[in-house]
Structure 1
Amino acid sequence: MEAFSQKWFTMYYLCLGVLVFLSGFIVMVSYRRIKNYLTREAENEDPPVALRNLLKYLFLFTIPCLVFSFMPFSWIELLFSIWSFFIVYIAGIQLVRWNQTRVLIRQNHEKLEWYILFTGAMMVAVGLVILLLAYFVIRRTNLF
């Protein structure tokens, strides 16, 4: 089970790191389209389906991370799992409070571009950190 746990974290960190890193660049490049999407979605009563699905899958992949962080016990993987749950919680709060969030989006649509660009830059930075975690796991376990 220990070998499977190490392989899980290696693949998870690599895939998630690349996805977050590339998504951050895409967000920074296409910030106007994202602004238009959020502005359109702010007119709806229900939260955006794309964001709900993203959080759902991040949550579903974080559960095995939490379990595997105890086989063998690793502080780094445990902290990463807790951090992932925290991200899901913070983003989920925004979707639960969608009525207030959509009012804020409509009222502050001129600042929305800056927030989208900032989010994209943070995604690039977080993607690099996750890729460094993958490198750490690979070096620690001598997988390659």
Structure 2
Amino acid sequence: MSKLVTVVFGFVFGTLVSFLTAFVFMLIGQVLAGGITSFQGESWLYISSIIPFAITFAVIGGYIHNKKAITKRKLWFISFVSAFFVSLVSGTVGAIFAEFIDRGGLETLNVDGTLIWGTVYSFALLPITVPFARFLIGMFSKLSMKFI
């Protein structure tokens, strides 16, 4: 198949994974806060994660298009870079844009705090996000090599 098909498959996979990840993150947060109150969650969480996930998996799809096999070391490195990129963009710029889209302005948002703490969280959560990214990228590479 063509490289474009793999990139589009990555974009669609990233979009779907974005929704599932945001949903699971929202459920975990609600359980830790005392109970599940809604299955919909905040829309800013979904909005802030769609673009980074879709771009990341589209790029990974383009990268693995003609690869027969990817070493485990390379997959871990890709997972590290991807996890850091997705968490940094969704936690900073994505959160700011999502707040703007969702609320119609930035009057209620501490932009400086969002940029600082989004960066801190993206570094601090790497021990959790990298293995999760490795799992998703491994699943994506197996699916793309099998079906495309």
Fold match by TM threshold 0.5? no
- TM (norm. structure 2) is 0.29
Structure index of larger Rg: 1
